[in-house]
């Protein structure tokens, strides 16, 4: 399994350049929660886990999935997409779109390696 939820919270908070107090304040304002610095410190130090509701708000706040936040790395089966365009009448713009999509799929594949 991946990183624990505490490490993910700290990583996301650091990425946003927020202190634990600032994160608590912003979440309280946005979601009407009652978080404090001590709770966030406890979670980040793996001394306890947030409630499901708090974890859901954290995921929403950081714009990540709950699966990502809890360290559940979902492996998807590869998808094969064949773009045979030899015998069809494609416009130049459509061919460019096909090439862009192929580049996108390659970039996803390279990130997974």
Whether residue 99 sits in one domain with residue 62: no
Write down the pLDDT at residue 101: 83
Whether residue 23 sits in one domain with residue 44: yes
Whether residue 87 sits in one domain with residue 34: no
Whether residue 26 sits in one domain with residue 50: yes
Whether residue 63 sits in one domain with residue 23: yes
Tokens of 52: 């499901």
Residue 72 — left, alpha, or beta (φ > 0 → left; ψ -120 to 50 → alpha)? beta
> Which residues make Cβ contacts (< 8 Å) with residue 37, sequence separation at least 6?
19, 20, 21, 24
The model's pTM is 0.63
How confident is the model over 79-89, as pLDDT tens digits? 555 555 566 67
Whether residue 63 sits in one domain with residue 87: no
How confident is the model over 88-109, as pLDDT tens digits? 677 888 878 888 888 877 777 7
Overall number of domains in the chain: 2
Which CATH number is 43's domain given?
1.10.260.40
Each as own residue / partner, the long-range contacts of residues 37-42 (CB below 8 Å, 24 or more positions apart, any chain) are: 40/9, 40/13
Whether residue 9 sits in one domain with residue 36: yes
Write down the pLDDT at residue 78: 58
77 or 60, which is more confident? 60
Range of the structural domain that residue 24 is part of: 5-69
Segment 32-55 mean pLDDT: 95
């Amino acid at each position: 399994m991946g990183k624990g939820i505490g490490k993910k919270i700290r990583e996301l908070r650091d990425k946003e350049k927020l202190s634990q107090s600032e994160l608590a304040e912003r979440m309280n304002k946005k979601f009407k929660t009652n978080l404090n610095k001590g709770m966030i410190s406890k979670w980040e130090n793996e001394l306890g886990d947030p409630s499901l509701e708090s974890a859901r708000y954290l995921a929403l706040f950081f714009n990540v999935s709950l699966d990502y936040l809890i360290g559940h790395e979902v492996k998807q089966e590869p998808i094969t997409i064949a773009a045979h365009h030899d015998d069809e009448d494609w416009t130049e713009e459509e061919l460019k779109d096909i090439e862009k999509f192929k580049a996108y799929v390659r970039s996803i594949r390279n990130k997974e390696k």
